[in-house]
Amino acid sequence: MRGEIILKAKIISGKSLASDLREKMKNDIEELRKKEIIPGLAVILVGDDPASRTYVNAKIRACKETGIHSVIYERPADIREDELISLINQLNQEDTIHGILVQLPLPSHISELKIIETISPEKDVDGFHPINIGKMMIGQTGFLPCTPLGIIQLVKSKNIDLTGKHVVVIGRSNIVGKPVGQLFLKENATVTYCHSKTKDLINITRQADILIVAIGKAKIINKDYIKKGAIVIDVGVNRLSDGSLSGDVDFEQVSQIAGYITPVPGGVGPMTITMLLSNTLLAAKGKKIGCSREFD
Ligand code: GUN
């Protein structure tokens, strides 16, 4: 070998962790079945957005493989808001359904907030209801959003102590950016939020021990944004012109610098679905999870 040692990142495989967790869940579901409880998830898909359909199909498939009963409600893009609200109200009353998920985004004539607020907080397995978000903020038990929960578990699977670590989050969505920062704060990390209006982004990301990237633009984060040895979590899923998938992180470059990195596909995505299964299982058990939950 000549001269410089190139640091190659270790891969944090969401696919592998998700598979291990789902195997454990299968046993739990088997135990519940003996008590005549079959976890049930209702998935509502409005319109025919291909990406939403792909996500919903993946969720339904994962339910089937794990032993969770799932029902898909497909509705046309021009469904009225009040029709959607009455479907949710009906599902709120249905004893065989423990979790309700409305795939987002919704058509623009429907208020997403109104729809999310209609879902009973006890069945809100996405963790999007303002009551569950509020509980997360003050450390009370409630459903936690799936992608942030999956990210925390990915990092913890590498036995990394989060106390005092500088976590930089790029992206401030209600689904990923904002809640993931809260979960890391709960783990005693120091959290910095960045977004499209952040000045001198590169200077901030280079200080990150853990960098969470949820921007939605392919390969936008290259090696110049990364501190040597950092943990890089790529939430982006972008379709390239050749049909392949890429994250928001330039994997080839960044994996030369980072200590750990999640791939796309096979990183965060499988964990998001696994946390949905886990939340549905907990809903069926009638047990609420919270920020104090032990991540196993
Ligand atoms: N759209 C993109 N991600 C999600 C998600 O995690 N849940 C729902 N319901 N819709 C989404």
CATH classification at residue 174: 3.40.50.720
Considering the domain architecture, whether residues 43 and 76 belong to the same structural domain is answered as yes
In a domain, 189, yes or no: yes
In a domain, 12, yes or no: no
**pTM, 2 dp:** 0.94
Give Cβ neighbours of residue 36 (< 8 Å, ≥ 6 apart): none
Q: What is the pLDDT of residues 6-34, one digit of tens each?
A: 659 999 999 999 999 999 999 999 999 99
Cα–Cα distance between 185 and 193 in angstroms, integer?
A: 12
Nearest to 97 by CA among 43, 143, 40, 45: 40
Considering the domain architecture, whether residues 114 and 149 belong to the same structural domain is answered as no
Residue minimizing CA distance to atom 1 of ligand 1: 104
Cα–Cα distance between 44 and 5 in angstroms, integer?
A: 51
Tell me, in angstroms, the distance from the centre of ligand 1 to residue 244's CA.
Answer: 21
Q: What is the pLDDT of residues 124-177, one digit of tens each?
A: 999 999 999 999 999 999 999 999 999 999 999 999 999 999 999 999 999 999
Q: What is the pLDDT of residues 35-49, one digit of tens each?
A: 999 999 999 999 999
* 3-state SS, residue 270: helix
User: Is the beta carbon of 37 within 6 A of some atom in ligand 1?
Assistant: no
Is pLDDT above 60 for 207? yes
Active site residue 126: yes
> Ligand 1 atom closest to Cα of 147?
6
Cα–Cα distance between 212 and 22 in angstroms, integer?
A: 24
> Ligand 1 atom closest to Cα of 101?
9
How many domains does the chain contain in total?
2
> Ligand 1 atom closest to Cα of 146?
6
CATH classification at residue 80: 3.40.50.10860
Tell me, in angstroms, the distance from the centre of ligand 1 to residue 104's CA.
Answer: 5
Cα–Cα distance between 285 and 279 in angstroms, integer?
A: 10
Considering the domain architecture, whether residues 113 and 39 belong to the same structural domain is answered as yes
Active site residue 135: no
Is pLDDT above 70 for 294? no
Cα–Cα distance between 173 and 64 in angstroms, integer?
A: 30
Q: What is the pLDDT of residues 263-288, one digit of tens each?
A: 999 999 999 999 999 999 999 998 54
Active site residue 153: no
- Of 123, 124, 126, 288, the catalytic one is 126
User: Is the beta carbon of 279 within 6 A of some atom in ligand 1?
Assistant: no
